[in-house]
A and B are shown apart, each in its own frame.
Chain A
Amino acid sequence: MGMGTFVNLTVNGLSTGMMIFLLASGLSLIFGLMGVLNFAHGSLFMLGGYTGVVVFAHSGSFILALVSAMLVGLLVGWVVERLTVRRVYGNAIAQILVTTGVMIVLNELVKAVFGPDIIATPVPPLLAGSWAIGSVILIKYRLFTLAVGLVVAVAVHLLLTKTRLGMVVRAGVENPEMVQALGINIRQVFSLVFAFGAALAALGGVMMAPAVGAVNPDMGLQNQMLAFIVVVIGGMGSFLGSALGSILVGLAGAYTAWFLPEASLAVNVLLMAVVLLLRPNGLFGMGGE
């Protein structure tokens, strides 16, 4: 593998990692704060992808597609929390059933409207093409996703560490009961974080579509699998953990894809197993060791 290929794979891996991160960070926060393993999270990713397709087809503006996807994610996430998840806090079995149910409903809805087949999603013209620097070829769209992912990661990190809301979320991940005993309406915070996590997932979906060239109704499920691996690697509820976990998973996927494409998922599962052997709570996980 030459220098050019190596750089290319690394950029691809980091870029995929960033999109996985958008999915995984919400999953991790929702689990850390509310104890909900949200099986519908990938559907929001998928919904983001389809929203992007529709908006881009009608407006030709990719920025508008990104923003609309996030808004749809925010709205659907809020409704899903209000109507379903809210009723089953504290009941793990019911949560799995309810969120799986939501996932099936959303996926079937999308299939009903758009059909079960893939829809091709070209890279927006402004972001198409690549730069060649010597033997290194940099794909513009990959760099774009990397940049957006980084900006979002930094923004969310600042939100979590520098604002009162972030303080409440961090405290809630540790002990939601005590947060309530301090006069804070944790249910409101739950709704907000759920909707916000959904918006991030939808953003991941809309950015992923041009990177892989298509959307399909199952794209949520496929990427949710990787996101779960990331959350386990990084540690449930840890934002920094999901960032690092996503980078690891993204890179591992990209390098394996070059040598042995079929082994991509297997390598990520292996990565998870190794991390769990060394650190049972994940890289940044809290709690009893």
Chain B
Amino acid sequence: MILELKQVKTHIGQFRILQDITFAVPEGKVTVILGRNGAGKTTTLRSIMGLTPPTEGEILLDGKRIEGLPPHVIARKGVGFVPEDQAVFSALTVNENLRLAMRGRDQSAEERLTFVLDVFPDLKEKLSRKGGGLSGGQKQMLAIGRALVRDNRVLLVDEPSKGLAPIMVEKLARALRVIKDQTTVVLVEQNFALASAVGERYVIIDDGHTVREGILCELEQDRELLRRYLGISPANGERGRAG
């Protein structure tokens, strides 16, 4: 297991947001975090990243505890983060956004940059454009690309398809399939079609608890579970389609 959360509890101010988050992420796979709005998916990723540090529990990366470390140290240990709102630096050019994330200018970093521009050719044409001038889909690509130029062990991606046009969601699905060969991915995704197109394992979070964990293709059959925790019935109409 590359990443493990054990009974993680997180408070924001005096609010108890996460009560008991426990799951494991196997190396080289895409683990999808599912759950309705407000369930605590974003807070889970932010807790791993150290942005909202857990108040109790353990988070292990490669078997070593990382909870309580400052975010930049967690990032340097190989955790990449693509936040829900993308957080592309709008005053920086696309090139600067990518370079900011690269630490040294070593060979492998340059190779990863080339890889990113191959996966997202749209970015290659916009290198000198300001981040703020990109479309929603391009911002999402830049946010993912920016995380990918780093030498990550695990990549945390929060709802990348949110607000994207169907054609962009398809591009995203294709990109995620290429990316998953390079790094372990933890993907928060409400679009079940996209989730099942790229994911292998799932974790369901509800009201700050992990309620179920397993293999995605088995979940697809479990209509009752899907209805109960995600409010969808895949038989009669999915919420979105992904190539």
Show the binding face of A for B, using Cβ within 8 Å.
164, 167-168, 170-171, 173-175, 177-187, 286
Contacts and interface: CB of A to CB of B under 8 A. Distances in A.
Nearest to B146: A182
B92 interface: yes
A180 to B, nearest CB: 4
A178 B89 CA distance: 9
A186 B87 CA distance: 16
Interface string B88-128: 01111000110111010000000000000000000000000
Contact of B70 (A167, A175, A180): A180
Contacts of A184: 72, 100
B10 to A, nearest CB: 16
Contacts of A181: 49, 51, 71-72, 75, 81, 83
B201 interface: no
A183 B91 CA distance: 20
A167 B71 CA distance: 19
Contacts of B71: 177, 180-181
Given A167-B96, A180-B70, A181-B81, 14 more contacts: A171-B89, A171-B96, A174-B89, A177-B51, A177-B87, A178-B81, A179-B100, A181-B72, A181-B75, A183-B72, A183-B101, A183-B103, A185-B70, A187-B70
A182 B89 CA distance: 12
Q: How large is the interface on B (under 10, 10 to 19, 20 to 34, 35 or more residues)?
A: 20 to 34
A167 B100 contact: yes
Contacts of B83: 178, 181
B192 to A, nearest CB: 27
B209 interface: no
A179 B71 CA distance: 9
B9 interface: no
Contacts of B91: 170-171, 173-174, 286
30 contacts: A164-B100, A167-B99, A168-B100, A170-B91, A171-B89, A171-B91, A171-B92, A171-B96, A171-B100, A173-B91, A177-B51, A177-B71, A177-B87, A178-B81, A179-B100, A180-B70, A180-B71, A180-B75, A181-B49, A181-B51, A182-B75, A182-B100, A183-B72, A183-B76, A183-B101, A183-B150, A184-B72, A185-B72, A286-B90, A286-B91
B92 A170 contact: yes
B101 A182 contact: yes
Residue in A164, A177, A178, A286 with the greatest tally of chain B CB atoms within 10 Å: A178
Interface string B55-86: 00000000000000011100110000101000
A178 B146 CA distance: 11
Nearest to A177: B51
A286 B92 CA distance: 13
Contacts of A171: 89, 91-92, 96-97, 100
B85 to A, nearest CB: 9
A171 B92 CA distance: 7
Residue in B83, B99, B100 with the greatest tally of chain A CB atoms within 10 Å: B100
Contacts of A186: 72
Contacts of A167: 92, 96, 99-100
Contacts of B87: 175, 177-178
A184 B89 CA distance: 14
A227 to B, nearest CB: 23
Residue in B75, B83, B92, B97 with the greatest tally of chain A CB atoms within 10 Å: B75
Given A167-B96, A168-B100, A174-B91, A182 B49 contact: no
Contacts of B76: 183
Given A182-B146, A183-B150, A170 B89 contact: yes
A179 B72 CA distance: 8
B32 to A, nearest CB: 21
Nearest to A168: B100
A174 B97 CA distance: 12
B64 to A, nearest CB: 17
B202 to A, nearest CB: 24
Contacts of B70: 180, 185, 187
